[in-house]
Every structure is written in structure tokens, then in C-alpha cells.
Amino acid sequence: MFAKSSLLVALTTALSVMTSSTPINVVERAANASPTITLCTAVNFGGICVKPAVVSDTCINFTGGLTTVNEEVSSAVVPAGFICTFFDAFGCTTSDPANSDKDEVGLVGGSYSSFGSLSGINGPLNFNDKASSFSCSPL
């Protein structure tokens, strides 16, 4: 009887320790999660939307799992605390360096419901269905 009672106490203690530590692990995991950027193929966050992780100062090409949005991005949500630059060519470069004010656009954290009417370096810029890559940096 003593052995069964000791086993029951040991199992109960082990289960209570595992149960009480689960919320801590979930909170830690959430705190370490990478921010994401939302990219949609239609204005007003419609069409197909993807949410790739933002990796600071890394060029993300719209290839592989992001092929759907290559030259199709019409709206986006940039995470707070970041500036993301979109480029009209792969490799986070511009197709025409002499006209880079039309081949790339930088967006600070916020919601952009239409890439057809963005503010570029030299005023209004239509970047709808042009982006092929992007890079984000913390502010």
C-alpha cells in the first residue's frame, strides 16, 4: 500500500510541475516569435495574403512559397518598429538604378491598403504589382 501511495504522490507532483510550467513556455515562445509582414495580392488586404517572418536586414525574394505575390503585391501591413523597402527586382536591387526613385519604395510600420498610391522619394508612386523582393530593418 505504501508503494502505491508513494507512486501516486510522485505522479501527481510531476503532473502539477508539468502543468504549471506550460504557460511559461508558451509565453516565452510568443516573446521570441519573429514579427511578420502581411502581403496581399489585392487592395484593402484582399486576395491572397501571406505572412512571412521579418528577418532584419535580410533580402527576401518572392520565390518558392512567396511566388504567389511576385509582382502581385497590392497592399501590406509592415510591423511596428520596422522600415521595409520593396524592390521591383529580385535580390533587393532595382531594375534601373538611374530611376531608383520609381523602382523601390520604403514603408515604415503601418497599414498600406493600396500600393497604387504610395508616397515615394519624389512624391506619389504607383508600386502596385511591381514588388519582387523586400528587406526590413528596425527603426
Would you say residue 26 lies in a domain?
Answer: no
Would you say residue 75 lies in a domain?
Answer: yes
What single string gives the DSSP state of each residue in 1-24? -HHHHHHHHHHHHHHHHHHHHHHH
Q: What is the pLDDT of residues 3-32, one digit of tens each?
A: 554 444 444 444 444 443 434 444 444 445
Q: What is the mean pLDDT of the segment spanning 58-82? A: 96
Would you say residue 7 lies in a domain?
Answer: no
Would you say residue 124 lies in a domain?
Answer: yes
Classified as helix, coil or strand, 119 is strand
Would you say residue 119 lies in a domain?
Answer: yes
pLDDT of residue 124: 87
Q: Which of 82, 92, 88 is nearest to 70 (CA)?
A: 88
Would you say residue 9 lies in a domain?
Answer: no
Range of the domain at 66: 38-133
Percentage of the chain lying above the pLDDT 70 cut: 73
Mean pLDDT of the chain, nearest integer: 80
Would you say residue 22 lies in a domain?
Answer: no
Residue 70 belongs to a domain with what CATH number?
2.60.20.10
pLDDT of residue 11: 40
- pLDDT range class, residue 119, cuts 50, 70, 90: confident
Q: What is the pLDDT of residues 83-94, one digit of tens each?
A: 999 999 999 987
Domains: count for the chain: 1
pLDDT of residue 34: 83
Q: What is the mean pLDDT of the segment spanning 36-45? A: 96
